[in-house]
Structure 1
Amino acid sequence: SGPFAFADLVAGDADMTPPSFGIRRIPGWKIQFADHVPAAIAARLPRHARYGRVVDRFGLWPSVAAFGVVAALLIAGVLNAPPLLARMIPSSVEQRIGTIMIGDFGRNGCADPAGEAALQALLQRIDPDDAAIEVSVVKLPMVNAVTLPGGRIVIFDGLLADAKSPDEVAGVIGHEIGHIRHHDVMESLLRQLGLSVVLGGLEGHVGGYTNALLATAYSRGAEGRADGYAIDLMREAKISPQPTAAFFARLGKGAGKAERMLSYLATHPVSADRAARFRAAVKPVAYRPALDATQWHALRSICRATKGEQGWRF
């Protein structure tokens, strides 16, 4: 059945001594050397596998280096994919997700007419050019605000109770609008939960998705961009950023308290630098309060007729 060329040989069982070789496309054919193989012949024989095909072909350390480069590229892709994908998701999909998620707040929504009118007046004051943003208040005691997909901002009643002025709330809303403009909400969900956010099954996991937004802190970069956007909005609206600086400073003092775990600090890390940035944005101009005294009272009382739910689902 011969003759055969050296190129036809394939390495056999590496554990056999002396080693054996087979022939391509001829099952069961085997040749084995009974004694020492001459160097001239050994140089032409196929090598037995040591690590695996790819590693044996290129060598151990070149393969390790190549795998390291591939791993680094994969990690970079995973880290950079959410910002890119977040900008590619259609607004209709974001709206659907936001509509489902806001329903997870159950009957905690506050709907006092005077309070709602004051809230809309505040939104118009801080961002008069975008009618697509929706702001609502829920009767929950935590000092928090969360932005949902589809341009929806939810303010917790606990934040209104803690705020010392409407200008503080204006700064928070401006900051949340910044997260909307920079697609930080969808990026956060994609980073934590992957493409399952937009690929079906949302209705069955909505509580987990909303909880992810409440438990996942934005990056320092995202917070810095949102702060800058809020400062720009407040400058255009002639609202002083000093009260927002005081709000952040006040929250920062309680950063280590257990009751802050579900507070604004959980999703928006507060630092002295952030408060200082708002203080530095104060200019010698004629600022006007974000709301008048009557509107501010109405906004803080927006949940007075709301009983809320004892069994909060988060």
Structure 2
Amino acid sequence: MDVSGLWHYDGRTAIRHKVDLRTGDDGFSLIGDNVDMGPYRWSDLVRRDNSPDGPVYGLKDKAGWRICFAGGVPDAIRDQLPGPARYGRWVDQLGFWRASVMFLAVSAVFALAVFKAPDWLAPNIPFAWEKQMGDAMVGDFGGRFCNGPGGQAALDALVRKIDQGKPAVRVHVANIGMVNAVALPGGNIVLFRGLLQEAKSPDEIAGVLGHEIGHVRKRHVVQALMRQAGLSVLLGGFGGNGGGYLNAMLAASYSREAESAADDYAIRQLKSARISPDDTAAFFARMSAQEAKLGEAAAALGYVSSHPLSQSRERAFRQSKQAGTAYAPVIDADQWAALSDICHNDPKVPAEDSLFF
């Protein structure tokens, strides 16, 4: 069977040839002047695009080779020609269902990689890089750290009592009324004034601070930041975006496993320093009661929004108490008074700005 009215590009020159097509048993040949006659197999044709003259077909592995049935495709050979793309070239080649299964598998692997990336990457981030990022975040507090007489010395003494790890953590008190504490990259921890006002004893602060130090020692901080702010933390660095990452850190929450590991660290440190865990358990119980009473409004408490509480956490601290152990306060009464009033006794600290966060 001969089909006339085709145009053809051979892929070697820009000359359009007028050709006829002659069908064979399992393919076709082209008839015309100065053209590659073939034969070609129908299965080697691929649908390229459309022209005003009709559908255009190419040849596999031969760039620029084209034929077009300018006079229309005869019904006798229509079934031999590849149809138009339905979903996209590679989807049509694989088939819709096979491509769908492959897409779901690739998506699942990608989602797992993104979810697990912080766990894999965070422990291998150089501490010097993490410290530089943490210092940038600390600087974003804009001088809101309190330094009332004796307050920082009392806080430093408390920290030394519950943690002798290296590198040493640096703890500050910010003049912010929210009941919260946040661990920042590079071993920086910030207690908010509201937490000191809420605490009934220095031992409560010791337990909460021990928990935050646990996050630092376990490298949970960068993990949480990466989950909240994304891999841009690594790809984009921290230059010019310290405030954005600080807000991300404040909004971040740790996984149940990370919270449990930080609690375990705090319990071990309290035990080693002979500090009663009862006060920390009492703090958790009080926060849980306020959360239950206030419902969604409890987010304003800060601590319960970023540190999920549970009866099991409170129970873990209570059950860690050792009978017959002589416990003593982590710091004395005078030191606790200085720490409690560290912001009130500092005339230079800026007043709290509710719009800061």
Aligned position for 1:66 = 102
Alpha-carbon deviations, 1:193-236, whole Å to 9, x = none?
22333455634322221111212222222111111111111111
Q: Could you say which structure has the larger radius of gyration?
A: 2
Q: For 1:244, which of 276, 280, 296 is the aligned residue?
A: 280
Aligned position for 1:290 = 330
Q: What is the identity, as a one-letter code, of the residue corresponding to 1:144?
A: N
Aligned position for 1:258 = 297
The structure that is helix-richer by fraction is 1
Alpha-carbon deviations, 1:117-155, whole Å to 9, x = none?
211111111113435211111222121111111101111
Aligned position for 1:162 = 198
Q: 1:197 to 1:228 in 2, by over 3 A?
A: same
Q: Check whether the contact 2:175–2:192 (CA below 8 A) recurs between aligned residues.
A: yes
Q: Check whether the contact 2:298–2:304 (CA below 8 A) recurs between aligned residues.
A: no
Pairing 1:137-156 to 2, within 5 Å after superposition: 137-156=173-192
Q: For 1:180, which of 216, 225, 244 is the aligned residue?
A: 216
Q: 1:199 to 1:3 in 2, by over 3 A?
A: closer
TM (normalized to structure 2)? 0.78
The structure that is strand-richer by fraction is 2
Q: Check whether the contact 2:180–2:191 (CA below 8 A) recurs between aligned residues.
A: yes
Alpha-carbon deviations, 1:96-118, whole Å to 9, x = none?
11111112222321113422221
1:77 equivalent to 2:120? Answer: no
Distance in 1, matches of 2:87 and 2:296, equals: 53
Q: Check whether the contact 2:176–2:352 (CA below 8 A) recurs between aligned residues.
A: no
Aligned position for 1:196 = 232
Q: For 1:308, which of 350, 353, 356 is the aligned residue?
A: 350
1:160 Cα offset (Å): 1.2
Distance in 2, matches of 1:12 and 1:154, equals: 62
Aligned position for 1:267 = 306
Aligned position for 2:138 = 102
1:30 equivalent to 2:74? Answer: no
Q: 1:20 to 1:249 in 2, by over 3 A?
A: same
Distance in 1, matches of 2:171 and 2:211, equals: 13
Question: Pairwise CA RMSD of aligned residues?
Answer: 2.7
Q: Check whether the contact 1:22–1:30 (CA below 8 A) recurs between aligned residues.
A: no
Alpha-carbon deviations, 1:222-258, whole Å to 9, x = none?
1111111111111111111111111011001111262
Q: 1:179 to 1:27 in 2, by over 3 A?
A: same
Stretch moving more, 74-83 or 107-116: 107-116
- Aligned partner of residue 3 in structure 1, secondary structure: coil
Unaligned 5+ runs, structure 1 = none
- Aligned partner of residue 287 in structure 1, secondary structure: coil
Q: What is the identity, as a one-letter code, of the residue corresponding to 1:308?
A: P
1:301 Cα offset (Å): 2.1
Stretch moving more, 281-290 or 4-13: 4-13
Q: 1:124 to 1:28 in 2, by over 3 A?
A: closer
Distance in 1, matches of 2:277 and 2:216, equals: 20
Distance in 2, matches of 1:149 and 1:240, equals: 29
Aligned position for 2:31 = none
- Aligned partner of residue 134 in structure 2, secondary structure: helix
Q: 1:84 to 1:131 in 2, by over 3 A?
A: closer
Distance in 2, matches of 1:46 and 1:174, equals: 69
Unaligned 5+ runs, structure 2 = 1-34
Stretch moving more, 159-168 or 124-133: 124-133
Q: What is the identity, as a one-letter code, of the residue corresponding to 1:29?
A: I
1:3 equivalent to 2:46? Answer: no
